[in-house]
């Protein structure tokens, strides 16, 4: 006997997969810094983000020399960019638009 699949089940599975991916990203904190952070700095970042987003975050720390200084943090769709690169780009854009 063949199992009858509901109409549009592939689209429903696609939506469910997207929701699962979004939920996983919402619990992942990607922290980029120009240089490696000390244990105390990592702990401070963890504490600040857990205070804002709650416990249960997974942290991913990485170095990105292109930032020149500062750090960039992404949790889900929220992005906090305090890098020197971003500030330099803002100054450049201000001069170009003037």
Residues 16 and 66: their CA atoms lie apart, in Å, by 36
CATH code of 61's domain: 3.30.1330
Whether 60 is covered by a domain: the verdict is: yes
Whether 70 is covered by a domain: the verdict is: yes
- Count of domains forming the chain: 1
| DSSP designation for 16 | H
Whether 86 is covered by a domain: the verdict is: yes
Whether 90 is covered by a domain: the verdict is: yes
pLDDT value at residue 21: 79
Whether 64 is covered by a domain: the verdict is: yes
Question: Which stretches of the chain drop beneath a pLDDT of 70?
Answer: 1-2
pLDDT value at residue 15: 87
pLDDT value at residue 45: 97
| Integer angstrom CA distances of residue 34 from 6, 58, 70, 84, 94 | 51, 20, 6, 9, 24
pLDDT value at residue 1: 53
Residues 91 and 85: their CA atoms lie apart, in Å, by 10
| DSSP designation for 57 | -
């Amino acid at each position: 006997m063949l199992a009858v699949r509901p109409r549009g089940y592939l689209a429903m599975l696609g939506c469910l997969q997207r929701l699962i991916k979004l939920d996983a990203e919402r619990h992942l904190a990607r922290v980029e810094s120009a240089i490696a952070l000390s244990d105390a700095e990592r702990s401070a970042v963890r504490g600040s983000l857990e205070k804002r987003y709650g416990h249960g975050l997974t942290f991913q720390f990485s170095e990105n020399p292109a930032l020149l200084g500062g750090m960039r943090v992404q949790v889900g769709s929220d992005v906090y960019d305090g890098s020197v690169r971003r500030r330099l780009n803002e100054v450049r854009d201000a001069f170009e638009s003037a």
